[in-house]
Amino acid sequence: MNILGIETSCDECSVAVVAEGKTILSNIVASQVERHAPWNGVVPEIASRLHVEWIDEVTSQALKASGLSLETGINGIAVTYRPGLIGSLLVGLSYAKGLAWAADKSWIGVDHIMAHLYAAHLENEIAYPHLGLIVSGGHTILCRVESLDEVSILGATIDDACGEAFDKVAKHYEMGYPGGVKLDALAENGDSGAFNFPQPRLGTRRYDFSYSGLKTAAINQLEKFRTKRTEASSTNIAASFRKAAIDMLISRLKLAAKDTGINRVVFGGGVSANRYLRRVVDEDSSLEGYFPSLDLCVDNGAMIAGLGYHLLLKGKRSPLNLNAQARVSKFKCPYP
Ligand code: KG4
Ligand code: ZN
């Protein structure tokens, strides 16, 4: 069964074709990042308007690269319908509905977070249950994953998302937007023990995260270095910030692994590309970590098609009046 997956929840316009929920036949990701860079963040109206302009061309490219035609080669369509920017979601969702209606295909709306959790499954055999850690510019979510479509949220950020904190600190380094990957690269050359950025105290919220204070502390340290010319090096600040940001993820993860007795962890989202995070997990024998390859960490249509395949196989279908949802409230903790 070949599934066409459509992802427009934020600023990536992506369409993919995946066979049997595993084999990626094509995965076109058209990034809008340069169009949002002048504003140092994603501008929702620009994002949705660009999706309107791009979606049909990106779909044609994905079909062409897969060597399949919509009419005879595609068995079903999967599309992200939540969570995300409402205007962006509506473009992909409406387009998918039109395509499915016109070509008489089954289709299914897919949860973006569940799809991130599926990304590592595209390349690995991973048993359930496992823990899941979704870390991106918009989300920092720790969950217990029972199956493809069953998850309970253990914790989430109470303020900034992890990637957002990386991007905001990177902005003060004038690294452009989004600067998380450049800050990660700079940190590789620094001494992560040079500054001791304290971890937040969240009382009984054992699995939650907070990045706002850490972000401000790193920015203040950087400004102090620039104006007062202290001994500090900006590279060491980057390394110390990165260590504190990632150690926060690791400490919650280890706590959850201890409490649940589950040490298998699936990572997803842009920050799971972080080099220090991957190293720490690889070197920690108490965790069995699964990371998607770098192009599957970011938003992409392949993870939507992959998860959609399993849902369609189970006989699930979405109604034509399925609406987009910016946030998800069915879980104990709505995504921040
Ligand atoms: O999943 P994603 O492509 O989009 C969403 O935010 O939904 O994630 C992008 C985020 C950005 O905040 C970016 O700076 C961050 O992931 N990121 C990184 C790295 N690569 C991407 N943060 C830290 N280290 C990296 N290597
Ligand atoms: Zn995402």
Residues 6+ apart with CB under 8 A from 288: 263, 264, 265
pLDDT band at 227 (very low <50, low <70, confident <90, very high): confident
Spacing, Cα 200 to ligand 1 middle (Å): 22
Which atom of ligand 1 lies at the shortest distance from residue 179's CA?
14
Q: How far apart are CA 222 and CA 310, in angstroms?
A: 48
Range in 97-106, 122-131, 170-179, 196-205 with the lowest mean pLDDT? 196-205
pLDDT of residue 205: 85
Region 91-97: mean pLDDT is 98
pLDDT at 57 over 90: yes
Spacing, Cα 228 to ligand 1 middle (Å): 31
pLDDT band at 202 (very low <50, low <70, confident <90, very high): confident
Which atom of ligand 1 lies at the shortest distance from residue 269's CA?
1
Mutational test site, ligand 1, from 13, 162, 271, max ligand atoms within 8 Å of CB: 271
Mutational test site, ligand 1, from 33, 134, 136, max ligand atoms within 8 Å of CB: 136
Region 52-68: mean pLDDT is 98
Region 196-216: mean pLDDT is 92
pLDDT at 40 over 60: yes
* CB of 136 sitting under 6 A from ligand 1: yes
The CATH code that applies to domain 2-117+297-313 is 3.30.420.40
pLDDT of residue 48: 98
pLDDT at 335 over 80: no
CB neighbourhood size of 45 (10 A): 10
Return residue ranges of the chain for CATH 3.30.420.40: 2-117+297-313, 128-291
Contact 77, 18 (CB under 8 A): no
**pLDDT single digits (tens) 263-290:** 999 999 999 999 999 999 999 999 999 9
pLDDT of residue 46: 98
Structure tokens at 222: 């950087």
Region 40-63: mean pLDDT is 97
Spacing, Cα 278 to ligand 2 middle (Å): 18
Spacing, Cα 269 to ligand 1 middle (Å): 7
Spacing, Cα 138 to ligand 1 middle (Å): 9
pLDDT at 330 over 50: no
For ligand 1, atom 21, name the residue with the nearest CA: 270
pLDDT at 334 over 70: no
Spacing, Cα 76 to ligand 1 middle (Å): 30
Which atom of ligand 1 lies at the shortest distance from residue 161's CA?
12
The CATH code that applies to domain 128-291 is 3.30.420.40
Range in 171-175, 227-231, 311-315 with the lowest mean pLDDT? 227-231
The ligand that comes nearest to the alpha carbon of residue 246 is: 1
pLDDT of residue 144: 96
